[in-house]
């Protein structure tokens, strides 16, 4: 076995139906007294619960959030945080709320208590992202890892299917790419494969029976494991493509994941025989069918499977946009299991644009 290093990230996880009622106690346990509460519009009702728990300890409430965390928004929130003299951030909502909380923690070095209401998984990583000038810049800093994450599956029961499915694919992408991302090792692989099993096994049930709290809980566990896997490794080709699509065209991050993931997997699979054997077992499919299985899961979950169907920045994505995406993504990829250039990435993006179902034979041809 090759030598490796695994760094255990320091974060507390509180899980269970009704766990939101413990947020106030968790803040008290951190010894904080001037809390900024960040939430998106959809999380307003549970945010009221948290505000009541915090009482006078809540000195600032912020409900303006946006996907990809625009730098201008982050700066306004940071200025407000400075004026209020905060010593902690509680965030509740989807990945955009977590992302803004991370931007504040990055500048103010205060702890985060995160309460996810989707399956983004970013609450388990030291990764942050800020967008300006049609470019999304990501980085890693231990300060942005939430000190406490409170998972309450009841908070996800009302999540619409069009958010549930893509959000779960966002998490699934974390686990899948962690199988080969820089920093991967036997520990991260075990976490990632368990994340794949949990998501693959629970997502169809959640889509068919949205009120199933147990299935929602298993999906949340899968999302948490996937975030842990990504947080202990690094973002690779798949995430670079999705970040470019989000930064350049303001596409919904989770939707980009569900479309792009099967095609990047098909591209890299020929160079990853050992990893694909493990992934095939986690997906319960024959070796060689991993990419097709993810595409089939996307179709069954009614999530986007074609870039042609996605829109952002006021207009649908066009085929003529793909070359610029390929060139920008290729410039950001430093390591990948297969050598990759903009021409090969253009092919991956064109297949994703058309929504073709990946096959093992197509992957083998692309490797040749």
Residue 3 lies in a domain: no
Confidence class of residue 182 from pLDDT cuts 50, 70 and 90? confident
The pLDDT assigned to 358 comes to 94
Please check whether residues 146 and 192 belong to one and the same domain.
no
Those residues whose C-beta lies under 8 Å from the C-beta of residue 100, and which sit 6 or more positions away, are 38, 62, 65, 69, 73, 74, 77, 91
The pLDDT assigned to 366 comes to 52
pLDDT greater than 60 at residue 363: no
Q: How many helices (H) and strands (E) does the chain have?
A: 14, 10
- C-alpha distances out from residue 14 to 103, 150, 153, 196, 197, Å: 23, 5, 11, 21, 21
The model carries a pTM of 0.89
The pLDDT assigned to 14 comes to 97
The pLDDT assigned to 134 comes to 67
Residue 111 lies in a domain: yes
Residue 2 lies in a domain: no
pLDDT digits (tens, 9 = 90+) for 289-346: 999 999 999 999 989 999 999 887 668 889 999 999 999 999 988 889 999 999 999 9
pLDDT greater than 60 at residue 365: no
Residue where the block lists tokens 């030291």: 126
pLDDT greater than 60 at residue 367: no
Give the three-state DSSP class for 299: helix
pLDDT greater than 80 at residue 60: yes
Range of the domain at 228: 161-367
Residue 292 lies in a domain: yes
pLDDT digits (tens, 9 = 90+) for 102-142: 999 999 999 999 999 999 888 999 989 898 876 777 788 99
Number of domains comprising the chain: 2
Please check whether residues 138 and 225 belong to one and the same domain.
no
The pLDDT assigned to 297 comes to 95
Choosing from 97, 130, 156, the residue where a domain stops is: 156
Residue 6 lies in a domain: no
Residue where the block lists tokens 């208590």: 113
Taking residues 249-267, report their average pLDDT.
90
Please check whether residues 87 and 213 belong to one and the same domain.
no
Q: CB of 94 within 8 A of CB of 42? A: yes
Task: Give the CATH number for residue 313.
Answer: 1.20.1090.10
The pLDDT assigned to 333 comes to 86
Please check whether residues 207 and 243 belong to one and the same domain.
yes
Please check whether residues 93 and 225 belong to one and the same domain.
no
pLDDT greater than 80 at residue 183: yes
The tokens describing 126, both together, are 């030291």
| Candidate from 249-258, 270-279, 354-363 with smallest mean pLDDT | 354-363
Please check whether residues 142 and 178 belong to one and the same domain.
no
pLDDT digits (tens, 9 = 90+) for 319-330: 999 999 999 999
Residue 346 or residue 1, greater confidence? 346
Choosing from 115, 141, 156, the residue where a domain stops is: 156
Please check whether residues 20 and 68 belong to one and the same domain.
yes
pLDDT greater than 60 at residue 368: no
Average pLDDT, the chain: 92
Residue 308 lies in a domain: yes
Please check whether residues 93 and 180 belong to one and the same domain.
no
């Amino acid at each position: 076995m090759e030598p490796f290093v695994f760094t255990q990230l320091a974060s507390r996880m509180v899980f269970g139906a009704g766990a939101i009622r413990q947020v106030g106690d968790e803040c008290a346990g951190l010894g904080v007294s001037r809390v900024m509460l960040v939430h998106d519009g959809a999380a307003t009702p549970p945010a009221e619960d948290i505000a009541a728990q915090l009482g006078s300890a809540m000195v600032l409430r912020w409900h303006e959030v946006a996907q990809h965390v625009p730098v201008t928004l982050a700066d306004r929130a940071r200025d407000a945080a400075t004026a209020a003299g905060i010593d902690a951030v509680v965030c509740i909502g989807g990945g955009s709320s977590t992302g803004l909380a991370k931007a504040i923690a990055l500048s103010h070095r205060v702890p985060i208590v995160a309460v996810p209401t989707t399956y983004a998984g970013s609450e388990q990583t030291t990764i942050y992202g800020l967008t300006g000038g049609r470019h999304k810049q990501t980085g890693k800093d231990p300060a942005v890892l939430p000190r406490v994450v409170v998972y309450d599956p009841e908070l996800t029961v009302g999540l619409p299917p069009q958010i549930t499915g893509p959000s779960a694919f966002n998490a699934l992408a974390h686990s899948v790419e962690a199988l080969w991302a820089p920093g991967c090792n036997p520990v991260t692989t075990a976490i990632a494969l368990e994340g794949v099993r949990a998501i693959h096994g629970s997502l169809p049930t959640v889509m068919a029976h949205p009120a199933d709290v147990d299935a929602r809980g298993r999906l949340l566990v899968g999302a948490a494991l996937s975030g842990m896997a990504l947080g202990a490794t690094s973002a690779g080709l798949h995430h670079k493509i999705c970040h470019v699509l989000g930064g350049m065209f303001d596409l919904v991050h989770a939707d980009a994941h569900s479309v792009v993931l099967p095609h990047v997997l098909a591209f890299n699979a020929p160079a990853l025989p050992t990893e694909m054997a493990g992934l095939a077992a986690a997906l319960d499919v024959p070796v060689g069918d991993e990419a097709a299985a993810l595409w089939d899961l996307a179709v069954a979950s009614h999530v986007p499977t074609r870039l042609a169907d996605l829109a952002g920045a006021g207009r649908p994505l066009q085929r003529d946009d793909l070359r610029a995406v390929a060139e920008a993504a290729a410039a950001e990829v430093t390591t990948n299991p297969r050598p990759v250039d903009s021409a090969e990435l253009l092919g991956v993006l064109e297949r994703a644009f058309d929504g073709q179902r990946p096959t093992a034979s197509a992957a083998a041809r692309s490797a040749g």
